Amino acid sequence: MACIRVQTRDIDVGAELAAVSAGRTDIGGVASFVGLVRGTAAGRPILSMTLEHYPGMTERAMTGIADAATRRFQLQACTLIHRVGELHPGETIVLVLAAAPHRQAALDGCAFLIDWLKTSAPFWKKEAFLDGTSAWVDARETDDLAASKWSSIEIA
Amino acid sequence: MACIRVQTRDIDVGAELAAVSAGRTDIGGVASFVGLVRGTAAGRPILSMTLEHYPGMTERAMTGIADAATRRFQLQACTLIHRVGELHPGETIVLVLAAAPHRQAALDGCAFLIDWLKTSAPFWKKEAFLDGTSAWVDARETDDLAASKWSSIEIA
Amino acid sequence: MKILYFAWLRERVGTGEEDVTLPDGISTLAGLIAWLRTRSPGHEAAFAAGKLVRAAVNQDFATPDAHVANGDEVAFFPPVTGG
Amino acid sequence: MKILYFAWLRERVGTGEEDVTLPDGISTLAGLIAWLRTRSPGHEAAFAAGKLVRAAVNQDFATPDAHVANGDEVAFFPPVTGG
């Protein structure tokens, strides 16, 4: 029941949410996370952000993450949509949805999916600044820590 | 920046999400939770669910919860919309949105809001079953526990 | 004072709202409840649920020792079950 | 074998994809990297980042001791920064 997509077009969150629960009466809650392009990076104004991925491997990684979340949190459905190409401040980058009979599984599944998506799915961001310069975004250690907390819980 | 509403009409999640981030480029993530009416309760098929509230006090309680979440998680915006009246299986009961510069605050703010909304906002549910009987829903101890974990973290 | 009942308390009492004049000598929520129980079998049935009855005075959650006076809005309801 | 480069590795190498024939005697990812570095100053600049280079063999994340052979698809890229 996982919906996995990499796309250049905008993400219609309402439509994706409706698709998850359409025709079903067994879902109790759907948790979601939407990531947006911020207008500044380390205080510097951004003109645009360009996202690149590894066609084939990226979708495989996303499917693997969705399957792991579905098993672990007994999700009834999940959706992972990630945009690529040139995006501007305020635009949606990513959508994660997790559906479950009760809210805690949906909330935990959603947090798990976005943590892993940020640390394990092959996407790379380049920021173009208002001053004409551009730079690839460095991986953040806090993201690896956020994802690793799930592993330690799994072992415990 | 809190949007608080009690309404009988359906909730347009896409529109509410768009309203939160409209014209802004400082939001990094919006976490949300949507609660849906399930088709069964303890295995018994449900015909409808009727929600009652305490006009005045309910909105005050929701505003208090939103203010507390905003302070605690430094939210940039939050939305709490709860429906009342007669709802049917598959329909949306509640929407919570929490916006923040980074995802962890948005995810935590969203979880906090829905936990407290379930335990502290004056709403009462009555389920009408397919067999013609009906019953008020009992408060669940697990809900109180979910909300109390936030208090203990606050003290620690 | 205005008394409000919600959910199954409303159904047992038979009304969602009533206006009453607080008898002399009653100044706490606990005293008000004891007096309201005597008003009808429906009131008695509603308040007999005891620990399952929650209250608010002027739209704030209140405990049995809360002060009440004419002019207050007092509400009785079961534990909340929204969300 | 097909070699893919992403993000700043692609920019430094100057291409996103190249087809190479693995020289005799090379059978690990580490060996492949050592050989690729000699192909151009751009390759050298890309792989000089050392610990910041990640790799995948046939679309699975791989470590330096991973086995590689002609016919494989090998990709090099920085730590991921999506989401």
The CATH number of whichever domain residue C57 belongs to comes to 3.10.20.30
Identify the CA nearest to A84 among candidates A32, A122, A42.
A122
Please report the pLDDT score of residue A150 as a whole number.
63
Please report the pLDDT score of residue A134 as a whole number.
97
Q: Which of residues 42-61 of B touch C (CB under 8 A)?
A: 51-54, 56-57, 60
Q: Report the complex ipTM.
A: 0.92
pLDDT at A156 over 60: no
Three-state SS at A133: coil
Please report the pLDDT score of residue D51 as a whole number.
80
Three-state SS at A39: coil
- Residues in chain A with CB shorter than 8 Å from the CB of D82 are 51, 53, 82, 93-94, 117-118, 121-125
Task: Return the bridge partners of A35, or none.
Answer: A94, B29
Sheet with D60-62: strands ordered across: D17-19, D2-5, D73-77, D54-57, D60-62
Identify the CA nearest to B138 among candidates B125, B148, B129.
B125
**Is residue A5 a contact partner of residue A78, using CB atoms and an 8 Å limit?**
no
Please report the pLDDT score of residue B156 as a whole number.
29
Whether residue C83 and residue B122 make contact (CB cut-off 8 A), yes or no, is no
Hey, what amino acid is at D47?
A: F
Structure tokens at A81: 């949509």
How far is Cα A107 from Cα D63, in angstroms, rounded to an integer? Answer: 33
Whether residue B33 and residue A103 make contact (CB cut-off 8 A), yes or no, is yes
Q: Which of residues 81-140 of B touch C (CB under 8 A)?
A: 82, 93-94, 114, 117-126, 136-140
Let me know the angle formed at the C-alpha of B19 by B14 and B25, rounded to the nearest 5 degrees: 110
Tell me the nearest-neighbour CA distance from B138 into chain C, angstroms: 7
What dihedral angle (degrees, nearest 10) is formed by the CA atoms of A129, A135, A140, A143? 70
Enumerate the domain spans of chain A: 2-148
A28-38 confidence digits (pLDDT tens): 999 999 999 99
Residue to test with chain D: of A5, A52, A62, A114, most D Cβ within 10 A = A52
Please report the pLDDT score of residue B142 as a whole number.
67
Does any domain span residue D83? Answer: no
| Residue range D39-44: mean pLDDT, rounded | 97
C23-60 confidence digits (pLDDT tens): 999 999 999 999 999 999 999 999 998 888 999 999 99
Residue B59 phi, psi dihedral angles, 5° rounding: -65, -40
Tell me the nearest-neighbour CA distance from A25 into chain D, angstroms: 30
Q: Which of A3-12, A81-90, B45-54, C47-56 has the lowest mean pLDDT?
A: C47-56
Whether residue A114 and residue B107 make contact (CB cut-off 8 A), yes or no, is yes
pLDDT at C61 over 70: yes
Nearest CA in chain B to C57: B57
Q: Could you tell me the pLDDT band of residue D49, with boundaries at 50, 70 and 90?
A: confident
Q: Number of residue pairs across A and D with CB atoms under 8 Å?
A: 67
Does any domain span residue C82? Answer: no
Q: Could you tell me the pLDDT band of residue B146, with boundaries at 50, 70 and 90?
A: confident
What integer best gives the mean pLDDT of chain A? 92
- Provide the CATH number for the domain formed by A2-148 in this structure: 3.90.1170.40
pLDDT at B153 over 60: no
pLDDT at A154 over 60: no
- Whether there are 3 or more C-beta pairs closer than 8 Å between C and D is no
Using CB atoms, list chains with 3+ pairs below 8 Å to chain D: A
Better-predicted residue by pLDDT, B155 or D47: D47
> Cβ of C69: how many Cβ atoms within 10 Å?
11
Number of domains in chain C: 1
How far is Cα C52 from Cα A115, in angstroms, rounded to an integer? Answer: 41
| Residue range A5-9: mean pLDDT, rounded | 98
Please report the pLDDT score of residue A148 as a whole number.
67
Whether residue A39 and residue B26 make contact (CB cut-off 8 A), yes or no, is yes
| Residue range B21-50: mean pLDDT, rounded | 96
| Residue range D64-81: mean pLDDT, rounded | 96
Hey, what amino acid is at D32?
A: L
Please report the pLDDT score of residue B144 as a whole number.
67
pLDDT at B39 over 90: yes
Three-state SS at B16: helix
What integer best gives the mean pLDDT of chain D? 96
Q: Which domain holds residue C66?
A: 2-77
Q: Which of A61-75, B63-77, B140-154 has the lowest mean pLDDT?
A: B140-154
Q: Could you tell me the pLDDT band of residue C22, with boundaries at 50, 70 and 90?
A: very high
| Residue range B88-111: mean pLDDT, rounded | 97
Tell me the nearest-neighbour CA distance from C19 into chain B, angstroms: 17
